[in-house]
Structure 1
Amino acid sequence: MRLSAVSGVGGSKSLPLFAPETGVGLRVEKRSFKRCGDIYRRTYWNNRGKKSTVWRCVTRLEEGPKGCTSRTISEEDLHTAVAEAFNQVLCGGESMIAILRENIESVVCESNEQAIANIDKEMEEKQMELISYANSGKDYENLADEIQALSERKQTILTEEAESQGEQDRIIEMMEFIEKHADQSLDYDEELVRLLVEKTTIFENNVVVRFKSGIEVEV
């Protein structure tokens, strides 16, 4: 089992996704295995009257083994793996919190207030110039393009700031979780999964849980 932390944080989703390992052309016991990378779906098995809940790749459910050969995982095993990932994070304690603090520093960007103010000032000047051109019958197409480019640059800066703040919030949530549950052993908790887990990837021999804070745990 390996515990690792990454500084980059991908776009989060409202619900955790269970996805199979991707890869084509792997050979095991002379059989060709294809893993499509699609999400997993909760479904039911009825084996000789014994019912069980499992998670299977959507492509395999719809197309069979020809579409994907990713393994099926029982819901019990999946929940056990996710709970183990949570407990591995908790075992990290202060060292894990230190890693998360470093992650926060990596996504904190300097204030862009001055950059936005400069763009606003330049846009205002060019808009006044455009009005002057229009009133005198001059071609103002290039000026209009420049104003549009400035507007797009401003929007990019604002979007990056919002994303950075969102990443910081997710990391802080994980730090608070670790501090609150220190020295505890947790069972699977659906509410915690929805709050903290970005996705769970199913591999042939292991499961990787990626938290919204950027931490990845291999079980």
Structure 2
Amino acid sequence: MEEKGSECTAPTINEDTLQRAVIKYINELLANRESLLSTLQKNIATILNEENDRATDDIDSKLDELQMELLKQAKSKNDYDDVGDDIYRLREQKQNALVVNAEREGRRQKIAELTAFLNEQSHELDEYDEQLVRRLIEKVTIYNSDLTIEFKSGIERQIEM
């Protein structure tokens, strides 16, 4: 980078060097695809076995019960603040569970995309493919003497420059 009066001290890297490092890493993954596919399948199984999908059903049934209780309390002119507080608390729990479920589904999808890519590739990459990299790689972090490449599926590798 040219010095243009800025005090930026962030590490930089030549784009060709970065692209070659990314291609090299993708090709390493392709060379070891069998062990990687096994790991990805285990990750998918772990994600699928998590229990949060059922949590929203349980919360919904509890919410239904509390809403009926709230109506009873209101009709009999009893204090229903505690029931209302429980309803708000359960709604918040349900929202949190939905967010966790959506994140887990996103991870499933990213792992499935990487698995599909590995299964489709019959040979190593010869040149940098911007579209492919954007589809597979979450981020590249540059340090002084190395960089870290992280796939969207969560797989990460540190490469010395």
SS of 1:218's equivalent in the other structure is: strand
SS of 1:186's equivalent in the other structure is: coil
Which residue, 70, 74, 79 being the options, matches 2:10?
A: 70
Q: Distance in 1 between matches of 2:11 and 2:50?
A: 45
Distance 1:46 1:108, change over 3 A: same
Find the counterpart in structure 2 of residue 157 from structure 1: 97
Find the counterpart in structure 1 of residue 77 from structure 2: 137
Which residue, 179, 182, 186 being the options, matches 2:126?
A: 186
| 1:101 correspondence with 2:41 | yes
Letter in 1 for 2:126: L
Deviation at 1:136, TM superposition (A): 2.7
Q: Distance in 1 between matches of 2:24 and 2:150?
A: 13
Gaps of at least 5 residues in structure 2 are none
TM-score, normalised relative to structure 2: 0.85
Letter in 2 for 1:182: S
Report the count of equivalent residues.
159
In angstroms, what is the RMSD of aligned CA positions?
A: 2.3
More strand by share: 1
Aligned-residue identity in percent:
36
SS of 1:98's equivalent in the other structure is: helix
| 1:175 correspondence with 2:115 | yes
Q: Distance in 1 between matches of 2:126 and 2:81?
A: 63
Q: Distance in 2 between matches of 1:113 and 1:216?
A: 28
- The answer as to whether partners of 2:52 and 2:100 remain within 8 angstroms in 1 is no
SS of 2:32's equivalent in the other structure is: helix
SS of 1:201's equivalent in the other structure is: strand
More RCO (CA 8 Å, sep 6+): 1
Q: Distance in 2 between matches of 1:64 and 1:113?
A: 50
- The answer as to whether partners of 1:100 and 1:175 remain within 8 angstroms in 2 is yes
SS of 2:33's equivalent in the other structure is: helix
SS of 1:208's equivalent in the other structure is: strand
Deviation at 1:217, TM superposition (A): 2.1
SS of 1:122's equivalent in the other structure is: helix
Find the counterpart in structure 2 of residue 86 from structure 1: 26
- The answer as to whether partners of 1:88 and 1:217 remain within 8 angstroms in 2 is no
Deviation at 1:132, TM superposition (A): 2.1
Q: Distance in 2 between matches of 1:104 and 1:217?
A: 20
Gaps of at least 5 residues in structure 1 are 1-44, 48-60
Q: Distance in 1 between matches of 2:157 and 2:58?
A: 44
Letter in 2 for 1:191: Q
More helix by share: 2
Deviations 1:71-90 (CA, angstroms, capped at 9, x unpaired): 22111111111111211111
